[in-house]
Structure 1
Amino acid sequence: MEHLNQTRKQATSPASAVDYVIALRAARKWIAAATVAAVVIGVSGALYIAQYRSEGFLQFGGPIPQAPETLERDPKKEGNTGIVLADYKRYAAIFNTSDRFDSFLQANKLQGVEGIGGLRKAMATGDGINKMVEPIFPFTKVDAKELMEQPKDGGNNVIGLRIAYAADTPANAQRMVGLLGRYTIDSIIYSNYSDLLRFKHIEISSKVTRLDNDIITMNERLEMYRRKGEVLKKIVSNYPEAANKSAAQVISVTEDSARYLSPVTHLMSGEVEALTTSETIIRLKREQAQNLLLREYYDKAKNLLDSNLSGEALLRGLEPVKESVFKGKDLDNEVVKEVYNMISIDNQRAINLYLGKTRFIAGPTLPEKRNIRLSSVLLLSLLMGFFLSAAVVLMRKWWAVNMDGVRE
């Protein structure tokens, strides 16, 4: 009886480390199979989830926004390039919206492009395009530490964008990076010209009215000089002997004498002032005629803006608008020709800046490998499979020992 009790006590005692090692040894084939299965599942899942990552560097080819013909140009800033940080943040707020992106796709009929669905989902996330588009500065914090100075005169503008995107195929990744570059510059163009075209028509209309008032004022002044001249001519004809005498107007008075201008001098001065006023009226009428043409141009350009959602299409559509405005106009007239040339130059400059010089100078790359490290995935899957399967064996051994003791 005492021997039986001793045997039961040994049976219910906790298993030693040797027992667990023996259990692992006995289950080594199962552990190996589970580890291999974990490796296969891990690598397959990683290959299925992993994507191809393409990158590109989009360079701004000049100062953006470039001052159009109706804005003052600062010669000191001609050498600057890129976008002022405050302006870039304003543009980013515009192109970092899924609504703007959908409008761009609709305007350019890009909804059916392969891979566009994934990009639309990425745009709809919280950070949106901020994860894919990164501004590039010529002067970084590291540069500041090394050079011990800060950029001056706007020298640290955003000079370009680093664009990156991952997709299921190399071609889709490359295509979407190119499309993102086109989309960002399209949004910048649309933002600039929507501001310009919406307000310029009102500004020029106001200027035409102001010029009209200035012409009325100058005509009244010219009429005054005419009346004054007629009166002076009568005085001279009635008093010919006064032509050489000081009898018209006091110009200086002292205690001993007074000096006067003769009527002839007054008449000559009035004619000179009338001539100057006539030239001013001619200049104002010329300026008014040009602004009337500009108002007609901006009126039609604003209609183009209201019916368009693409910045690139808007920019390219300004030339046909210009041609429609000047159709039937006398281009041999210097007043008309000057406005025509001015609009043409600015449209060509804008197309060269936004659609020519602003371009990818690196990429979009065509990735050859997926953005994962198979060696790391293989090692991690191997370790995870081995330790998990071993843990299962050890837990079963522990359960068997403790449960047998409880039942007895």
Structure 2
Amino acid sequence: MKKQEEFAQHSTEYNDGLISLTDLLSTLWHARRIIAGITVAFIALGLGSTLYLAKYKSEGFLQFGGAIPLSAEKMSKTRDFKETAAGIQLSDYKRYSESIGSRGRFDDFVQAVKLDNTHGIAGLRKNITSEKNLNAILVPIFPFTKLDAKDLMEQPKENSNNVIGLRISYDATTPEEAQRMVALLGRYTMDTIVYLIYTDSLRFKHLEITAKITKLDNDIIGSKEKLAEYGRRIKDLKQIVARYPKAEAQNTSQVVTVTDENARYLSPVTQLMSAEVEASTAEEAIYQAKREQQQYLLLRDYYDIAKATLDANKSGEAVLRALEACKERAFKTKDLNDELVKEVYNKITVDNQNSINLYLEKSRFIAGPSLPENRTTRLSTAVMASALLGLFLGCLIALGRQWWIANREQLAD
């Protein structure tokens, strides 16, 4: 009997600690106006924030039109430019990417192209200088992925998996701004790559060409010394031939043999002919070295002007388009009827045209930038999420209010 009373007492205490589902639903029903009000408020808040803070996402695919940077050495080793590995080597791309994400480089570009007051530039600067955001905005594209490599019969060769393009995406408050910013990002990316390429090239060309001019000086000096030696030898051989006129009748096909017992030499006439041929070769070497030296002197004048142009500009595209003007200034006082001068002039022209074709024409958007039609967050999704959040918080507030009313006297004691 005692045990039954204790069991009944414990059952009563346990039931008192449980929350009845009926009481819970009753509490929520009596607080339905509060819950509905909170839910409607959250729906309005979510809908308003979605409309006011709407984001539109534009995307574009920027391709690199060939092997970047443009290398004359690589082109000379292949029969056709298309045979070279297209795109940018990963090591070079990482270096370019670091510069693209630099705040100083971005500010220099904005000032160079006069976009300081353009709407959205401040937000773009903030995203570009954040490594996390930059990696999401600019995604490199490779010709082969890991899945592609598994399906291929042969593994990709070295340097054949370069970065061939970029997938560029950007969120903005209007579709037009998003599209404009993606286009600007493509232009900024190529401008930075071109600027770094010419920074590396033009800053070191002067020293390289000066070293080659000095080396050619030494080559000319050495060839002149050989020419003087051949001249002395020719003079002596002519005197020998004059003293021995019958030597011409001797066999001219003798070979040179030197032993301990005797020595046999070529006939003086044969040696005279060989010396004259060697002297002619030395004269030709001097002529070619002087000609090449004159070409390098012309190139140095051009690169000096180009380097000054680079120092005065912060835009790679502006530098590239100014190279033709630099060429005209360098050759303004030169005689273009001279074949040597004309050859250097034409070489610079071809290099500049190839660079403009590669960096500004072939490297372009082949898809996009797209003009987004829909927001990144749909209104229906925003309304549903706001309604669920408002309903949950409304129910939580109603239950908390009922618990406070039921336990406030105990809390007061």
TM-score, normalised relative to structure 1: 0.90
Q: Does 1:120 align with 2:120?
A: no
Cross-structure match for 2:6: none
Shift of 1:253: 4.5
| CA–CA distance in structure 2, aligned partners of residues 325 and 167 of structure 1 | 46
Shift of 1:70: 10
- 2:380 maps to what in 1? 375
How has the CA–CA distance of structure 1 residues 145 and 159 changed in structure 2, closer, same or farther, with 3 Å as cutoff?
same
* 1:229–1:267 CA contact under 8 A, matched in 2: yes
Q: Which of residues 52, 63, 73 is equivalent to 2:67?
A: 63
Q: Which runs of 5+ in 1 are unaligned?
A: 1-11
Matched, 1:400 2:405: yes
The alignment status of 1:281 with 2:286, answered yes or no, reads yes
The correspondence of residues 3-402 of structure 1 with structure 2, limited to 5 A, is: 16-68=20-72, 73-75=77-79, 78-79=82-83, 80-147=85-152, 149-244=154-249, 251-253=256-258, 258-402=263-407
Of 175-184 and 65-74, deviating more is 65-74
Matched residues in 2 for 1:389 and 1:256: separation?
121
One-letter identity of the residue aligned with 2:380: S
* 8 Å CA contact retained: 2:88, 2:162: yes
CA distance in structure 1 between the aligned counterparts of 2:411 and 2:241, rounded to whole angstroms: 141
CA deviation after TM superposition for structure 1 residue 218, in Å: 0.9
Amino acid at match of 2:59: E
Paired amino acid for 2:29:
R
Q: Which amino acid aligns with 1:211?
A: L
Cα root mean square deviation, aligned = 2.6
Question: Do the aligned partners of 1:98 and 1:124 also contact (CA within 8 Å) in 2?
Answer: yes
- Tell me how far apart the structure 1 counterparts of residues 334 and 23 of structure 2 sit (CA, whole Å): 104
Normalised TM-score (structure 2)? 0.89
Residues 207/28 of structure 1: CA separation in 2 closer, same or farther (3 Å cut): same
One-letter amino acid of the structure 2 residue matched with residue 137 of structure 1: F
Equivalent residue pairs, number = 396
How far 1:197 sits from its partner (Å)?
Answer: 0.9
C-alpha separation between the residues in 1 aligned to 2:409 and 2:401? 12
Residues 132 and 164, structure 1, Cα contact 8 Å, conserved in 2? yes
Q: For the residues of structure 2 that align with 1:369 and 1:142, how far apart are their CA atoms?
A: 32
User: Are the counterparts in 2 of residues 222 and 274 from structure 1 also a CA contact under 8 Å?
Assistant: yes
Post-superposition shift, 1:266? 2.2
Structure 2, gaps ≥5 residues long? 1-15
3-state secondary structure, aligned to 2:322: helix
Is the CA contact 1:50–1:168 (under 8 Å) kept in the aligned structure 2?
yes
CA separation in 2, counterparts of 1:274 and 1:85?
A: 51
Q: Distance in 1 between matches of 2:162 and 2:228?
A: 55
**Greater Cα shift, 238-247 or 317-326:** 238-247
Aligned 8 A contact 1:82 1:160 in 2: yes
Secondary structure at the aligned position of 1:134 is classed as strand
1:234 deviation in Å? 2.3
Indicate the percent of aligned positions where both proteins have the same amino acid: 54
* 8 Å Cα contact 2:101/2:130 also seen in 1: no
Q: Does the CA contact (< 8 Å) of 2:101 and 2:131 recur in 1?
A: no
